[in-house]
Amino acid sequence: MNGENQPLLGENRNLEDSNSVRKKNNICCFLIFLIGVAFLTAAILITYFLYFKYVIGLKVLALNCWGMPAKVGSEDKELRMHAIGKFIQKKEYDMYLLSELWMRPDHETIRKLLPEGYHMSAVGDFALSTCDGRALPSFCSGLAIVSRFPFIEKEFLEYMYHGDILKPDGEYWARKGAGRARVEPSPGFLVDFFVTHTCAVGPTYSNAYYREHQVAELVSWVEKSNAHFVILGGDFNTDPKDKETSYHDLKTAMISSMEEFFIYIKEWLCPQRATYGNPKNTYSYMYAPVLYDYIWHRAKKTNMIWTNFF
C-alpha cells in the first residue's frame, strides 16, 4: 500500500516542530505581557509625579451667620454664635467663609472658640475704620474668614454701590464688599479666598440694580487675582431663577461648585438645597425656598480645580 512508502518518523518531526513553535509563541506572549505591565507601571508613576502628587484637597464652607442685632430682627443670636464657634472647633473644614458677622462681640465669641492652629481675620481686616459693630452694624461689612492655614495677605474691597438711602432696608448704611485672604496650602501654590455679601432683597423690591453692579465689581476683582487658584463664597442674595444678570455674570467668570457637583438642575435647584427658606431651617422654613449662597472657583492657566465633595 502507498502508506508503507511514507517515512515512519515524519509525524514525530512534525510534532516536535509544532511544540517548538508553540513554545516560541508562549515566550513572545509572556514578553509582550511583561512589556505591557512595564508600560502601565511607568504610566501610573508618571501620572502620579506629574499630576496627582500635586493635588491639593481643600474643604470649604460658606456660612451666613445672621448676626444682625436682636432689635433689628435676628433671633437667638448669642446662642447661635456660640454654636457656630463650637462647630468650627470640630475642624471639619479647612476654610470658613463667614458673612453677616456684623457685631464685634459675636466676632470675638467665635474667635475665642477657634481650635488650635486655626486663624481668623480681625474685624478691621475686612471693614472700614468707621465700622461700628457695637451698637449697630453701620459702616461694617460683616465678613470674616477662618483658616487652617496662616494668612499671607488680607484685603478689604468695598463696593461702590450701597443701596438706596431712602429705603428702609439699611443697605445704604452698611459697607458691603469682599474680603480677600491669600493662603499657601501647599508650598508654591497660592490660593485667594474671597468672601462677600451683596445687597439684600427688599420687602417689596428686588435691589437688583445695586446687586448687579456689586457683582460686576466682584468679578473684576476676581479676574485681577494673580493667585494659582481663586475660591469665592458668600451670600449673593440672588437665585439662578431671578430676572437679573448677577448669577449669569458670576457664571461667565467662575465655576459654580454646586452646579459642577450635582450636574442636573433638579438635583441642586430644589427646596432641599435652598439656603434660605429651606424646609429644615428653624427660622426661615415658612418662606419660599431660594438659593442665595454659593461657592465658586477659578484656576489660572494650566491649573485645574474641581468639586468632589458637597
Domain boundaries along the sequence of the chain: 9-50, 57-299
Q: What count of other Cβ atoms lies within 10 Å of the Cβ of residue 107?
A: 23
Q: In what order do the strands lie in the sheet with 60-64?
A: 60-64, 95-99, 144-147, 119-120
Predicted confidence at residue 58, as pLDDT, reads: 95
pLDDT at 19: 56
In the chain, where does DSSP find H-type helix? 10-50, 77-89, 104-112, 208-224, 246-253, 257-262, 265-268
Find out whether 231 and 178 touch, Cβ atoms under 8 Å: no
pLDDT averaged over the chain? 89
pTM score of the predicted model: 0.84
Does the pLDDT value for residue 94 go beyond 60?
yes
Mind listing the pLDDT tens digit for each residue in 164-181?
A: 999 999 999 999 999 999
Asked if the 57-299 domain carries CATH number 3.60.10.10, the reply is yes
Alpha carbon distances (Å) from 169 to 66, 77, 178, 204: 15, 20, 20, 10
Extract the C-alpha cell encoding 277.
427658606
pLDDT tens by residue, 141-168: 999 999 999 999 999 999 999 999 999 9
